[in-house]
Structure 1
Amino acid sequence: MSGKGRLSDAVWTAFTEALRFIVVPLVLVDLVTSNYPQLSTAFMSEIGTFVMFFGGMIVASSTLEAIHRPGTYKRLLFGMCGLAFVGMWMFVIFGGGIAEFSYGPYFVRFDITKIVYIVLAGISLKALLVYMTFSVNRRAEVERARKRRVDDAEKMRQQARNAKKMKAARAATTLSFERMSSAEFDVTADDDIGYTPSAYVKDLPTGMKICEVCGAQSPTKDYVCKNCGSWFPRDSVI
């Protein structure tokens, strides 16, 4: 089931469980306490609060159980918690198995403790269903998690390869001295860079000057050599 399907299932579960364990029981409790005030149990004075509390826990546990995939530990945990709260809810509704009814001089005491325990035992059997659902779907869940890890690892490797290619492409497009035009250089012992003039320097056109670093010709108005990027002396700029 997809995430959207589980979400809709969880919303429907919350709605139905709220009706079953909160709304309808509160209406019935109100009718009983209003029409039969002589009936009393161990939890009758605060039975509305108990129904709201345990019913809310049942709704929350059932909703969280429905929203998780079968075969996950979270679904198993919330399923077991929901059963525990259902047992507590039933115990409160039945007043622990003891109910007393008085009418005038008459007094009746009902002891259905054994019946309550049988009902709780029947509810606990659902734990087997929850565990069987977990065990049956566990292998599929483990396989799905393994595939997800493999896919994530493959994505990371692909991203690393793409990053390496981009880095190599940037390195290939970076300017280097090897790609610049070569010129004649004389490096003296004191690291002064000197230029050996070529034959065409004698016939230097008007309005042009020579770069002392690379020997390229540039207009006299230029501040920077377009060939090597070195700066011209200030007095050479006209």
Structure 2
Amino acid sequence: MEIWSDVVCPWCAIGKRRFEAALAGFAHRDDVEVRWRSFQLDPQASGERESGPGPLAAKLGVSVEQAREMLDGVTATAAEDGLEFRFDIARHGNTLDAHRLLHLAWELGGASLQGALKERLLRASFTEGEPVGDPDTLAQLAASAGVPEADARAVLGSDRYLDAVRGDQELARRYGISGVPFFVIDDRFGVSGAQPAEAFGQALDRAWADAHPLTPVGDDGRTCADGSCTT
């Protein structure tokens, strides 16, 4: 399972929680490996950026009140999935470094460590109001998720994993992914958006059945089909 998302994308946080709910009820969950892929919603973002109704209104060309209603709606939806969103204190910025650290986490600890860092970054972004575009903050967040702080700072002080982030984004373009979250199973099945847990469950079941077709054993011809039976 490969999931393209950004750490400043509210629907990515909601989609993650819903997918996890589906995975928890999937009979073959221990055979599923989840890898988070990089996708930057705003690659040109610089510095710290507010994410309240004002900036959203300017971006979408709507009134501040309309933007506030949109954010309130997303906040209410997140709450239904057990997430607390605080757009009033959110401070988003460029997420390139966050994605580079997610690649570091994958290299150091695979799916488990990368998943822990992804969760930590999303909580910092949407609940705690941490500036996830700030290198010092990122190093501390990485350490709290289990990534050695010295390794995180070494990556942040270099251009390491830059090609990996760009590679993820190029692969997204080849898949035709233009929005996130986007879930790809076995390079064959795609699920777009923060779908209900039931939809993710159906996708997992279908992908598993496709990868593990039944093989008939011991067929001696004693079957019925098309209104007739063999004897």
Larger RCO of the pair (alpha carbons < 8 Å, separation 6+): 2
- TM superposition score normalised by structure 2: 0.18
Larger radius of gyration: 1
Q: TM-score, normalised by structure 1?
A: 0.18
